Structure 1
Amino acid sequence: MGEFSKFEKLIVLLAAAIGWSHDAVGLTLLNFLAEPIMREFNVGTLEIGFIFSAQYIFCIFGAMLFGEMG
């Protein structure tokens, strides 16, 4: 394969940034929705903390898995 042009490198960088921001928004949005989720499902701070912690821990495994696939 030959060298990539600056434009092609920029497109790859923009695609990666858009993908990262999409993932970050999804995780951040849940933090803002924690209180309404707790009220709707009648759970306490311990339970919602465990659920959110598990989500962040499994994000690491997902990143490792899909990082190896890419």
Structure 2
Amino acid sequence: MEITPFTRTEKLIVFFACALGWAHDAIGLTLITALAEPIQLSFGVPISALGFVMSAQFIATVPGA
């Protein structure tokens, strides 16, 4: 079986799939960050716990990406 290089179309498909995945991850992180205060207030979570969870989320995105 011979290995052939990717065609231009296949490269574009992979590029757009990666871009879509990256955008989906960024939107999820942005929404959670924007809604953190209302969630914290509605559940009565201390601000220190919210800070810990948000920090852990941002740190975890590096190895998870």
In the superposition, the TM-score normalised over structure 2's length comes to 0.83
Q: Would you tell me which structure has more helix in proportion to its own residues?
A: 1
| Structure 1 residue runs of 4 or more that deviate by more than 6 Å after TM superposition | none
Counterpart of 2:26 in structure 1: which amino acid? A
**Structure 1 stretches lacking a partner, 5+ long:** 64-70
- When normalised by structure 1's length, the TM-score is 0.78
Aligned to 2:39: 37
Aligned residue type for 1:56: F
Runs of 5+ consecutive residues of structure 2 not aligned to the other structure: none
Higher RCO (CA < 8 A, seq sep 6+)? 2
| CA RMSD after TM alignment | 1.3
Task: Report the residue type matching 1:11 in the other structure.
Answer: I
Q: Which amino acid aligns with 2:38?
A: P
- Give the percent of matched residue pairs that are identical in Structure 1 and Structure 2: 51
Q: Does 1:13 align with 2:15?
A: yes
